[in-house]
Amino acid sequence: MENRFNSLLASAGMALTDEQKQRLLAYVDLLNKWNKAYNLTSVRDPQEMLVRHIMDSIVVNAHLTGECFIDVGTGPGLPGIPLAIVRPEASFTLLDSLGKRIRFIRQVVHELGLTNVTPVQTRVEEYSIPEGFDGVISRAFASLGDMLSWCRHLPGDNGLFYALKGVVSEEELAEIPEGFSVKEVIRLEVPQLDGERHLVVVKAQK
């Protein structure tokens, strides 16, 4: 497992500390254990989790700006937990409406000693912080239009939306609500992952 992870990181040109690698592998281990009872992810094989959950999450890190992020519809903590591990100087709020997912995330935070993660169980429409977030992140949460409509109250003055997507269609980009503009669409390279991955960065027009 560790050898495969090192190989994936090398392919992606990413360097992590030993502590970061151990925490990420421990997260996969916890996800695998809890998944048997809680059905947190459709990915059953821990080796596959390395590619489809860990690498797929942390390749986004280089494209984030700021120190205060929220991961909306985080599920079992994706991409929030892996990003919090590789970006320890930033704070991450992980929001989901489902209790079993938040219970799992609390356990992960406790067992891995993550001091920069805040799990929150609520609906996204009912949550905000006064100063707003630097980045609003979502992965497989909703269509781009829905994400922006439901989360428009979350970013601060210069905050950005980061939507992790597979294939990005022109139709989806054309349907973003008024008051938003697409800043860039970045093709992500995830080693050993079948299919395309993109990061859509959107700014709200003030």
125 labelled ligand-binding: yes
**Which residues are paired to 186 by β-bridges?**
199
124 labelled ligand-binding: yes
**CA distances to 24, 26, 37, 77, 171 from 57, in Å:** 11, 16, 24, 10, 25
139 labelled ligand-binding: yes
73 labelled ligand-binding: yes
145 labelled ligand-binding: no
**CA distances to 95, 101, 119, 189, 201 from 41, in Å:** 16, 10, 18, 22, 25
Distance of CA 145 to the CA centre of its chain: 18
Binding site, annotated residues: 73, 78, 124-125, 139
Binding residues for S-adenosyl-L-methionine: 73, 78, 124-125, 139
